[in-house]
Amino acid sequence: MSFKLESSKDFKKPPGPVCLIIMDGVGIGAEEQYNAWYCAKTPFLDALRSGKTPKGNTVLNAVVDASGRSVGLPEDSDMGNSEVGHNAFGAGRIYSQGAKLVNESMDSKSFKTGETWKWLLENCRDGKEGTLHLLGLWSDGNVHSHVKHAYALLDAALEEGCQHIRFHILLDGRDVSETSALDYVEPLEKHLVSLREKGIDVQVASGGGRMVTTMDRYEADWRIVQRGWLSHVLADTETIRTFSSASEAIQTFRKEENGIIDQFLPPFIIVDGKGSPVGRMKDGDSVILFNFRGDRAIEISTCFDATEGTFHHFDRGLMPKVRFAGMMQYDGESKIPKHYIVSPPNIERTLGEYLVHNECRRLSISETQKFGHVTYFFNGNRANKFNEELELYVEIPSSREREYTRPWMKAAEITDSALAAIDEFKPDFVVLNYANGDMVGHTGVYHAAVIAMEAVDVSLSRLVNGIIGRNGIAIVSADHGNCETMAEVDKKTGKPVKGNSPEGWKALTSHTTTPVPVMITGYGIDKYEIDESVTWGDAKRKKAGIVNVTATCVNLLGFEKPKEWLPGLLKPKSL
């Protein structure tokens, strides 16, 4: 099938660039006190939503889905996330995503017939002394992982005769309630006690909060991964604190630091009555990383897979000879990891690939925390460029400090660099991400989220006006919701659940299922209007999705969409 795009009869390319601006984690929520966007002073965004920029330019507005089945997740109740959101923006059609693919594999038990599963268990059954280690995010957030998948792996391993099993649990508080760790850990510990009573050697061996242990991404801070390595693999009790159980660790940390939330709990190691670690990895063991999402799984996978002399991020110490596999292959291009249990989605013929085959220049830009989203995920889980000459990727280094202490993040620097790159590189298409709404929203700190949205608004004003001044078109949207719902809300009353935040409510740190905005303004937009008939494919909901933005970008570049993509959001204005 050719990558040649046909010229459009209805759309004309502007003299300047078409720019897709993604406000990460900014949905359209209830106009309530817990909505950081609603309560922030955002005059520019307010103007865009009203249909006119402050300078009088027309703005076309739509509200679209960004969660559930509209982005390839199993159920409509599933929150959207940055990975599937950027996949959707880049793919132009809906692919079944990791959560859905793993659900299907676990439910059918088809993974048990795979060569990887058989290979992993060779050292852990039939009387052999190898231990099976299950490592991953311990919650049902269904963004990076789901506990039901780990329980399914446990059951399957027991059916195969495994006698020695260890859990290495990363605490969430980000995709689920901020202090819900014990809601997931205590049932696990209780279940493992019942298995030990049956003679199975199974225990929790280590853990830690996900934002300080193991789950770094985009090489922002390898110290996070190193803490995980010292805890899960080496069980270095001289460096990492020890406890008799995961519950004890969680409760102790909470007593020692008032107000600490799960994602920031320090790493810990579980030891026996003699003070010896119960789950140090050793030669002949097998390890499964049961996270299905790739961005925060790649670095720890690299630690296991990289051969001696090729790994330089930290000293791995005396490396045990283990068999390692991921739930999925997190980077198909780099083959990370080498072994995996469930095949990932094969996303092909993306916007990025079509652009280079049609001689269009592209700029991707964000700060470190979301750089992989405007490159790797936007490209259909491909890390490298399609064409070195036609693509420019710009990464603005993120701060290593917690986002609520610097809620403006790097929005200003991204804006400065984007406008400079537009002038120098002269791209036809730009994809840009402002991380503030999502990264600050995840902290649960309401006043910081308000500041984050105000910082985005200031930068958007400069960027969009700069694009219009360069005869371009700006498409402002979001990949999923987050900061518009900063409190857990009682479903019956619609009011915030009471809690310990300074505002008096229980902070919500997870994504949401709210729809997101699409605001389009710039050169020649007066000639078009929103096509209200466009949907993402669900006749009942009758709403478009972020997946329809892809074809919108191609149309505004002067092309007809590829046949395999869903339609765009615009049509020529009726006379």
Do 54 and 505 form a contact (C-beta atoms < 8 A)?
no
Q: How far is CA 546 from the centre of its chain?
A: 16
**196 assigned to a ligand binding site:** no
339 is in an annotated binding site: no
- Residue 171: name the closest of 247, 102, 106, 241 by CA: 247
Structure-token pair, residue 330: 């997190």
**Does the annotation flag 49 for ligand binding?**
no
Annotation-wise, does 174 bind a ligand?
yes
166 annotated ligand-binding residue: no
Q: Is 227 annotated as a binding residue?
A: no
- Cα separation, 466 vs 486, in Å, equals 31
Closest CA to 347 of 97, 76, 14, 4: 97
Q: Is 425 exposed, middle or buried (0-12, 13-18, 19+ CB in 10 A)?
A: middle
Length of the chain: 575
DSSP-derived secondary structure letter, 374:
I
Radius of gyration in angstroms for the set of CA atoms belonging to the chain, rounded to a whole number: 24
Residues ≥6 apart with Cβ < 8 Å to 150: 134, 136, 138, 167, 290
Q: How far apart are CA 394 and CA 188, in angstroms?
A: 43
Judge whether 254 is annotated as a binding position: no
Question: What residues act catalytically?
Answer: 82
442 labelled binding-site residue: yes
CB 525 within 8 A of CB 572: no
Task: Please report which helix (H) or strand (E) contains residue 323, including its range.
Answer: strand 323-328
Distance CA 362, CA 364 (A): 7
Task: Say how many CA atoms lie within 13 Å of 452 toward its Cβ.
Answer: 34
DSSP string, 414-477: HHHHHHHHHHHH--SEEEEEE-HHHHHHTTT-HHHHHHHHHHHHHHHHHHHHHHHHTT-EEEEE
Consult the annotation and say whether 221 binds a ligand. Answer: no
| Backbone torsions φ then ψ of 436, nearest 5 degrees | -55, -50
Q: Is 349 annotated as a binding residue?
A: no
Are the C-beta atoms of 452 and 483 separated by less than 8 Å?
Answer: yes
- The answer to whether the annotation marks 296 as part of a ligand binding site is yes
Question: Do residues 304 and 232 touch, judged by C-beta distance below 8 A?
Answer: no
Q: Is 241 annotated as a binding residue?
A: no
82 annotated ligand-binding residue: yes
Contacts of 60 (CB under 8 A, 6+ apart): 51, 519, 520, 521, 525, 528, 529, 530, 570
Residue 511 among known ligand-binding residues: yes
Q: Is 144 annotated as a binding residue?
A: yes
Q: Please, is 531 exposed, middle or buried when counting C-beta atoms within 10 Å of its C-beta (0-12, 13-18, 19+)?
A: middle
Q: Tell which residue, 235, 263, 232, has the closest CA to residue 250.
A: 263
Which residue ranges are tagged as binding site for substrate? 144, 174-175, 210, 217, 293-296, 370
Which residue ranges are tagged as binding site? 24, 82, 144, 174-175, 210, 217, 293-296, 370, 438, 442, 479-480, 511
Which residue ranges are tagged as binding site for Mn(2+)? 24, 82, 438, 442, 479-480, 511
